[in-house]
Chains A and B, each alone.
Chain A
Amino acid sequence: MSGFFGTLAREAFLQHALIGGLLASLGCGVVGTYVVAKRISFVAGGVAHSVLGGMGIAYFLGASPLAGALAAALVAALIIGWVNLRWHQNEDTIIAALWAVGMAVGVLFISRTPGYNADLMSYLFGNILMVSRADLYVMAALDAVAILIVTLFSKQFLAVSFDPEFARVRGVRVEFFHLLLLCLVALTVVVLIQVVGLILVLALLTLPAAIAAQYRARLVPIMALAIVLGMAFTGGGLALSYAPDLPAGATIILLAGTTYLFSLGARRLLSWHKTRRTRT
Chain B
Amino acid sequence: MTAPVIVLENVSFAYDGVPALEDVSLEVEQGEFMGLVGPNGGGKSTLLRIVLGLLAPDAGRVSVLGAPPAHARGALGYVPQFATFRRDFPVTVEETVLLGRLGKTRTLFGYRAHDRALARRAMEETGVAELRARPIETLSGGQLQRVLIARALAGEPRILLLDEPTANIDLRAEVDIFDLLKTLNARMTIVVVSHDIGFISPYVTRVACLNRTLLCHTASPISGEMIQRLYGAPVHMIRHVTAREPGLPS
Contacts and interface: CB of A to CB of B under 8 A. Distances in A.
B is bound to A = yes
Interface of A: 37, 151-156, 158-159, 161-163, 165-172, 213, 216-219, 222
B103 A152 contact: no
B2 interface: no
A18 B102 CA distance: 41
B102 A152 contact: no
A181 to B, nearest CB: 15
A167 B54 CA distance: 11
A165 B91 contact: no
A158 B80 contact: no
B111 A169 contact: no
Given A37-B89, A218-B91, A166 B99 contact: yes
Contacts of A151: 109
A170 B85 contact: no
Contacts of A172: 102-103
A218 B91 CA distance: 5
A39 to B, nearest CB: 8
B109 A171 contact: no
A156 B90 CA distance: 15
A167 B96 CA distance: 11
Contacts of B54: 165, 168-169
**Interface of chain A, main secondary structure:** helix
B49 to A, nearest CB: 9
Contacts of B84: 163, 165-166
A166 B53 CA distance: 12
A170 B90 contact: no
**Interface of chain B, main secondary structure:** loop
A217 B98 CA distance: 16
B86 to A, nearest CB: 8
A219 to B, nearest CB: 6
Interface of B: 52-54, 73-74, 76, 78, 80, 84-86, 89-92, 95-96, 98-100, 102-103, 105, 107-111, 135, 151, 155
Nearest to A167: B102
Given A156-B102, A213-B90, 12 more contacts: A156-B107, A158-B95, A162-B86, A162-B99, A163-B80, A163-B85, A166-B80, A171-B73, A172-B102, A216-B90, A218-B90, A219-B90
A219 B91 contact: yes
Most buried by B among A154, A165, A172: A165
Contacts of A156: 102, 107
Contact of B102 (A170, A216, A222): A170
Nearest to A152: B108
A155 B89 contact: no
A161 B85 CA distance: 9
Contacts of A166: 78, 80, 84-85, 99, 151
Contacts of B105: 155
A170 B91 contact: no
Contacts of B85: 162-163, 166
A170 B92 contact: no
Contacts of B98: 155
A169 B91 contact: no
17 contacts: A152-B109, A155-B110, A159-B99, A161-B89, A162-B85, A162-B86, A162-B96, A165-B80, A165-B84, A169-B54, A170-B102, A170-B103, A217-B91, A218-B90, A218-B91, A218-B95, A218-B135
Contacts of B53: 169
Contacts of A218: 90-92, 95, 135
